[in-house]
Structure 1
Amino acid sequence: MRIKLTVAYDGTNYCGWQIQKNGITVEEVLNKTLSKFFKEEITVIGASRTDSGVHAMGNVAVFDADVTMPPDKISYAINNLLPDDIRIQKSEKVSDDFHPRYCDTRKTYEYKLYNAQFPDPIQRLYSHFVYFHLDEKKMHEAAQYLVGEHDFKSYCTPKDDVENTIRTIYYINVEREGNLVKIRINGNGFLYNMVRIIVGSLLKVGMGMIPPEEIKNILEAKDRTKAGHKAPACGLTLVEIEYL
């Protein structure tokens, strides 16, 4: 039986999702926990291989196992064995040919900027602190140049195994809630470091370093060196993956 998990985690203490030699990962913890519970070797397949320090509210993974209990009860059983910073939000049966990475999806990410005179210790693991005052309205204006289907070559870290850098962004909203500036972005897929580089570029707009329309010029240049720096991982959360 193939089981789909909706997984939430605090990425602070993990070297990302995918198994690595240099540290513990979310995938590794899930594999070990599921294998222990089902008493067989379990390997999960994740939808989004988030980087070290990135958080998730709704990543998705699947695994195959001989399941005798109701699929929706697996989440309760597994959560009793998982560390406090990883929790299964939902477990359900899916078809045997369901693959979390090869289906049509819409993904939503949120990036939080803590914009104040002094850092907030409580926010430090889940937002990026910015001292300079940010104009969130100009950031929102600039972000609209990225909505639609575009070649996002300027806004990603190049990878040899990625030939197609065209993606569709359905919406980007930039809003302020007190000292928090939240950037929420929804699209059909994201390139390596794409959201964090977009945030780094919007930060330059928010601080008045470049005008909003420069975001369009950077997009059209198809040159990574034209875009802003890659924003830190701590501010980024994978909110939801919607299967169409």
Structure 2
Amino acid sequence: MTSTKQPMVVLLHGVGLDRTMWKPLREQLGRESVALDLPGHGLRPPLRSEQSLASLASDVLERIESREPVHLVGFSLGALVAQHLARFAPERVLTLSAVNSVCQRTSEESAAVEERLATAGTNFSQGVDRAIERWFPASSTTVDPEFIEATRQTMAGNDLESYLHAYAVFARGDREIAGELGAIKQPTLAITGELDPGSTPQMSHRLVAAVPQGRLRIIPGARHMLPVENPRALAAELNSFFSDNEGKQA
């Protein structure tokens, strides 16, 4: 007899953040979900050596408790980790959702992120302020100021060495997974904000073009922090995508 229980949703956050960023989305999903801290973030031990997309993904895989395939949702760095898991642990992943994901950066885009990496450790507090300004511009009124401040505090509380190791994976992980995207067989949703300057709509187009079963969604007016800026729209797209692909696994 086929189980009627919905698959678990597993959520992976972005660099410098932690599992708490998913609270607004989880309230909208209406499904059983678990948000995991990436290595070196939140309650996880600090990182004291160079990392790769493979090492981060291996750590996460050990902590996905569901033995049944899950709906895997990654944001930013978490989206790269999720892509690696879908490719190399396919039996554990029912669907892949890449939220505000980078993909196949151009030489100019790679140079820009490498420059940010090179300066990230010199004035970390200033970098936090700049990130908050990019994610939540003063003109935006859609996010609770208390949540913005909580995000700032999460960023400011990072262990610097851990952050730098993780940011290096974010800066270079798209190159690590680029040649493997065509072997990702799960249905894949690439979704980002229309106004995201870093994980651009063009990058989501590239991801959908690279995987065999891709679906593209661009949320009008949204920037990089889509899961907190417009959790209702993201939840609606995710739930539609999940429902369309449940019951299809072999």
TM-score, with structure 1 as normaliser: 0.29
In terms of Rg, which structure is larger?
1
TM-score, with structure 2 as normaliser: 0.28
Structure (1/2) with the larger helix percentage: 2
Structure (1/2) with the larger strand percentage: 1
